[in-house]
Every structure is written in structure tokens, then in C-alpha cells.
Structure 1
């Protein structure tokens, strides 16, 4: 239904943005899974100092990853749009999506890491 409301150029640009956004979320999820394992390990040992240090370090890494992805994607999608298509109209439309895709990386990374940390600590309480 939504695809019927837009032309092929808009939908092609949307697909490029969506696939890049989803691919970068896998990087954030990788950091979240690692933080989950680290926190579950130190939380199970009841070492509260290491829990606090690990949580802080993983959140720092999440911010660094998010900001790095924002910068990389902003430049990469703006100047490297021709990697995905040679259609000038799609590239031009894709430039509108760069703001969303690049701008949400830090927020997305933090959301995934917070979820991973919560699951890492909750798994010990439940299990």
C-alpha cells in the first residue's frame, strides 16, 4: 500500500537508506551482545565495582560507535551514493534520507546497548 503511494525513485532511495540503516544496527547489536555477556559474567560473580566499570565502559564505546557511524554514514552516503545506483534522481532523493540514517546512529546504538546491559543483568536474576 505504501509503495503504491510513491514513485520508483523514492522507493529505490528508501531501500538504500533502509538497508544501510539495518546493516549498521547489526554493528550496534554486536556491541550489545558483547556487553550482555560481559555484564552477565561480572554480575554473576557479584562484583559490583566491575559491573559499574563495565557498564560505563560499554556505554562509552556505544557513544563512540554511534558518533563514528554518524560521521562515516553522513560522508559515505552523501558522497558515495553512486555505489548503489547510477540514477541521478535516486541519488538526489537519497540525500534526503542521509539526515535520518546518519542522525539516528548514536541513539540507536545506545538503545541497543542499554537493552543488552539490561538483559545481561536480568538473565542472572531470572536464571
Structure 2
């Protein structure tokens, strides 16, 4: 259970980074849409999704190395460290998918709220 809790907390911390990028993307999207830059809306969405992929791949590499070599920071129990090493591939490997899911959802919600604000979603 200790290894699970450590992996879960690391996972949740990285999800906050993904959510932060999604919120920033929503703000950029609203700003561009308010200026009636409809072409720039698509460009902004594409750029934020690109940033999500880059951040996800970077987090994958960072977490894979960090959790593999730095798991002793959390505990000195050899059994827990061994179990953490088994979970590293899952926690680190899912980061790009998590980033894309959060950012895509944030952009989708941002577009939906803009449409509703204009009366199209009623």
C-alpha cells in the first residue's frame, strides 16, 4: 500500500501540471476568440496540444528516471522501493496521454463555454 500511495501521489501531482496547462490554454483560447481571430483559434489549440505532448514526453522521461533512482527519497524499505520500481513504467508511461486528455478536455470546455456565451449552445 505504501508503494501504491507514493505512485498515486506522484501521479496526482503531475495531473495538476496538466490541469494548469489546460487552464492556461482556455485563457489563451478565450483571448484569441474575443479578438475575433477565428483562424488563430485553431492555431492556438494546435499549439497548446503540441505543448501538452512536449510536456508529457518530458514528464515521462523525468518521472522514469526520478522514480527509478530517487524512490529512496520516499522510503528506505526495500520491499516498497521494489514495488515502486514495478509501478514506474505505468506512472511515467501514461503522462503524455494524461496531458493530452486534460488539455483536450480543457480546450473543448473552453470552446463550449464560448459558444454558450454567444447564445449558440441554447
Local SS of the residue matching 1:80: helix
Q: Distance in 1 between matches of 2:75 and 2:39?
A: 51
Give the deviation of 1:113 after TM superposition.
Answer: 0.3
Identify the range of structure 1 (27-36 vs 42-51) with the bigger mean alpha-carbon deviation: 42-51
Instruction: Please give the TM-score of this superposition, normalised by the length of structure 1.
Output: 0.88
Q: Do the aligned partners of 1:13 and 1:93 also contact (CA within 8 Å) in 2?
A: yes
Give the deviation of 1:120 after TM superposition.
Answer: 1.2
1:76-118 Cα offsets, whole Å, 9 max, x none, are: 0000000000001100011111011000000000000001111
Q: Distance in 2 between matches of 1:26 and 1:43?
A: 25
1:8-51 Cα offsets, whole Å, 9 max, x none, are: xxx00000000000000000000000001111221233311110
RMSD over aligned CA atoms reads: 0.8
| Structure 2 residue aligned with 1:95 | 85
- Shift >3 Å, 4+ stretches: none
Q: Give 5+ residue unaligned stretches, structure 2.
A: 117-122
Q: Distance in 2 between matches of 1:94 and 1:30?
A: 26
Instruction: Please give the TM-score of this superposition, normalised by the length of structure 2.
Output: 0.92
| Structure 2 residue aligned with 1:42 | 32
Size of the aligned set, in residue pairs, is 116
Q: Distance in 1 between matches of 2:30 and 2:15?
A: 22
Q: Distance in 1 between matches of 2:106 and 2:32?
A: 14
Q: Give 5+ residue unaligned stretches, structure 1.
A: 1-10
1:78 aligns with 2:68: yes
